[in-house]
Amino acid sequence: MTVDLPPDDELRETLRGLSEAPGVGHPFGAAPGGTSWERVFRPLVAPLVEHSAEGDPIWLVPSGILHHVPLHAVGWRDSVTLCERNPVTVTPSATVTTRLLAPRRGAGGGSVPLVAGSDAERPLAHARTEVETAATALGADGERLVGERATKTAVLARIALGGMDIVHLACHGRFDAAAPLDSWIQPAPDPPAPGPSERLTARELCGLRLDVRLVTLGACERLVAHMSRRSPARHGAWRPPSP
């Protein structure tokens, strides 16, 4: 199914209106001029609703500017959003989606949340609370690398030990559109002066043997991908088959 959208410049203006703080005459969710951002993107959500049952998991594979659109928050009827109707997962590429859906054998029995607490002058907001909460919920109170303990050396050493089921990383990150494998996350400094050598790159992560059930990442620009001129402008959605 093909859905025609306005040019990217118009979509950026719509998103700019969404990101601005609400003001007089501009309720939250309405772009300047009174055009609702939901109305603009609802045509993309409508087919998902049409071809799925309530409660079915939906996987979104956006591209280009759609990486910046909270499609899961689009209301489709009676102000009910897509994520209220269906569990929604967003992945940066169809390849990632395919790998995530592939059956995996069980790994270890321990859940290991990790937080990389970058430099003290720019701590990631709520990262410590995030990992503390996750550790408690997963029963992994003794498996936390928090703050200055979460150096690149310590993180890689713990991963190398294996025997874990879940790895959670919460840290600063940066996406490199020109060289995606050079994209990085920033563990805690060791010694205390963060630099390029202490960054953990996508290239390094891809070289690790991570036989785990789940890896989660809370970082800036974690769902951004790059559309080159040679890439077709395709946006996908996938509803996994019922078991």
Residues 73 and 146 in one domain: no
Residues 121 and 192 in one domain: yes
Residues 149 and 186 in one domain: yes
User: Helices 8-19 and 37-50 meet at what angle, rounded to 10?
Assistant: 110
Q: Is residue 98 part of a domain?
A: no
Question: pLDDT value at position 185?
Answer: 87
Bridge partners, 111 (sequence order): 166
Residues 142 and 231 in one domain: no
How does the average pLDDT of the chain come out, rounded? 73
Question: pLDDT value at position 58?
Answer: 92
Say if CB 171 and CB 115 are below 8 A apart.
Answer: yes
Residue 149 CA to residue 190 CA, distance in Å, equals 9
When comparing pLDDT for 193 and 79, which is higher? 79
Closest by CA to 120, choosing from 150, 98, 99, is 150
- Work out the number of other CB atoms within 10 angstroms of the CB of residue 78: 5
Q: Is residue 243 part of a domain?
A: no
Residue 4 CA to residue 90 CA, distance in Å, equals 21
Residues 66 and 13 in one domain: yes
Q: Is residue 210 part of a domain?
A: yes
Closest by CA to 71, choosing from 47, 104, 103, 35, is 47
Statement: residue 106 has pLDDT above 80: no
Q: Taking the C-alpha atoms of 152, 183, 170 and 107 in order, what is their torsion angle to the nearest 10 degrees? A: -70
Phi and psi torsions of 218, nearest 5°: -110, 105
Residues 199 and 233 in one domain: no
Q: Is residue 99 part of a domain?
A: no
Bridge partners, 218 (sequence order): 170
The region that residue 25 occupies, defined by phi over 0 for left and psi between -120 and 50 for alpha, beta otherwise, is left
3-state secondary structure of 106: coil
Statement: residue 86 has pLDDT above 90: yes
Lowest mean pLDDT across 63-72, 130-139, 147-156, 180-189: 130-139
Please count the structural domains in the chain.
2
Question: pLDDT value at position 228?
Answer: 42
pLDDT, tens digit, 9 for 90 and up, residues 133-166:
877 777 765 677 877 888 888 888 888 887 777 8
Say if CB 88 and CB 60 are below 8 A apart.
Answer: yes
Quickly tell me which residue has 């970058």 as its tokens.
Answer: 118
Show the tokens assigned to 203. 């290239």
| Residue 22 per-residue DSSP state | P
Residues 79 and 117 in one domain: no
Alpha helices in 102-184 (DSSP H): 127-137, 152-161
Q: Which domain holds residue 56?
A: 8-92+226-238
Q: Is residue 100 part of a domain?
A: no
Q: What is the mean pLDDT of residues 194-208?
A: 81
pTM of the complete model: 0.50
Question: pLDDT value at position 82?
Answer: 92
Say if CB 216 and CB 167 are below 8 A apart.
Answer: yes
pLDDT band at 35 (very low <50, low <70, confident <90, very high): very low
Residues 180 and 117 in one domain: yes
Residue 145 CA to residue 162 CA, distance in Å, equals 15
